[in-house]
Amino acid sequence: MNRPARHLRKTLDAVAANNQSAALDVMRAADQLGDEVLRQRLLGVIHRLNQDAEELRLARDEVQGDHFKRA
């Protein structure tokens, strides 16, 4: 795998991990809320953060060394 592809894979993985970490922090905050409407909105944010993390990891897995081309 070439260097740009490795760097891209590493970056995608780091962003995915950050999304999941943020989702956990938001989940902890949502659990402490008394406002159910806000809590439900935050649960939607948590869901989107986790979905985005999964999509980033799928994109990371698609990056193949010799098949990676610059856009």
Q: What is the mean pLDDT of each run of 10 residues along the chain (71 residues)?
A: 89 96 96 94 96 96 67 53
Residue from 2, 3, 8 nearest 62 by CA: 8
**The model's pTM:** 0.80
Q: What is the DSSP code (8-state) at residue 34? A: S
**What is the number of other CB atoms lying within 10 angstroms of the CB of residue 30?**
17
